[in-house]
Amino acid sequence: MTEKVVAALGGNAILQSGQEGTFEEQMENVKSTAMQIVRMLEAGYEVVVTHGNGPQVGAILIQNEAGSNLVPPMPMDVCGAESQGMIGYMLCQALKNCMLGKKLKGWEPCCVP
């Protein structure tokens, strides 16, 4: 039986203290994590990835407020879903890119909300 590992990324691991919050900064942080996840897969672990999104939701809410005179702002639950989609996208892209050239049998990315 394969051992399972849960990799839980807090929103502050994705957007770290002192960073502006650009996509590039967050993607670089996610790539670092993806490399570690691939190492766990190579070691034979089954990996489940979960993440937080606090700072990302906060940024989206600020963007909503700043643009509210141009477009209607979205409610908080929709902003949460938006950030989850963004982070899920970054995780899947980073994992896929880190997996290029690797030969891991039975590995399939599965992104579940």
Interior angle at CA 61, CA 59 and CA 64, nearest 5: 110
Q: Please say if the pLDDT value at position 107 is more than 90.
A: no
Query: Residues 73-85: what's their mean pLDDT?
Result: 96
Neighbour-count burial of 109, counting CB atoms closer than 10 A to its CB (0-12 exposed, 13-18 middle, 19+ buried): exposed
How many alpha carbons fall within 13 Å on the CB side of residue 12?
2
Is 61:83 a contact under the CB 8 Å cutoff?
Answer: no
Model pTM score: 0.86
User: How many Å apart are CA 98 and CA 17, to the nearest integer?
Assistant: 25
Q: Please say if the pLDDT value at position 113 is more than 60.
A: no
